[in-house]
Amino acid sequence: MLGRLNHVAIAVPDLEAAARTYREKLGATVSDPLPQPAHGVTVVFVDVDNTRIELINPLGERSPIAAFLEKNPSGGIHHMCFEVDDILVARDQLKSVGLRVLGDGEPKIGAHDKPVLFLHPKDLNGTLVELQQA
C-alpha cells in the first residue's frame, strides 16, 4: 500500500538557520519559506536525490509544531510522509486494520497541494505518519 517516501519533516526552532545549514554546509537545494496558515506552519523544502526534507516552523500561536518544539527545543523529526495511490482507499484499508486517522478522517490539502492524512503515532511505534496522494 505504501508508495515511496515523499519526505521527512523536521521541526526546527529557527527556520532561517536550519535552511542555511542545509544550503551552505550540506550543499542542498533549498526552497524559499512557504507559509501554510491552514496548517499553522511555515515550511522550507530541501531537495535531495531520493526524497525531500521538509523543515517546519510554527506559524502563529496555535501552531501544532509549537508544542512539539516546547518538548524538543532543539527540534527533531516530526513525521514521515509516504505516498499512496488513492488516499481514500488507503484510509479505509488502514482503518479496517485498526489504525487511527487523526482529525475528522477526511483528507486536507497539504503543503505540496495534494490531499493528506495523518495516522496516530501511538499506532505506529511512536511515529507520526502522513499519507499523501501521489
Query: Are the CB atoms for 117 and 131 separated by under 8 Å?
Result: yes
- CATH code, domain with 44: 3.10.180.10
Q: Which of 16, 61, 106, 130 is catalytic?
A: 130
Element (H, E) at 65: helix 64-71
Place of cell 532561517: 16
Sheet strands (E) in the chain: 5-11, 29-30, 34-36, 41-47, 52-58, 76-84, 108-109, 115-119, 128-133
Q: What pTM was estimated for this model as a whole?
A: 0.91
Number of structural domains found in the chain: 1
> Residue 28: which domain range?
5-133
Among this protein's residues, is 24 annotated catalytic? Answer: no
Burial of 100 (0-12, 13-18, 19+ CB in 10 A): middle
The reported pLDDT for the residue numbered 134 is 92
Q: What pLDDT, on the 0 to 100 scale, is given for residue 31?
A: 97
Mean pLDDT of the chain: 95
The pLDDT value recorded for residue 111 is 82
Backbone angles phi, psi at 60, to 5 degrees: 90, 165
Which pLDDT value is given to residue 107?
Answer: 96
Low-confidence stretches of the chain (pLDDT beneath 70): none
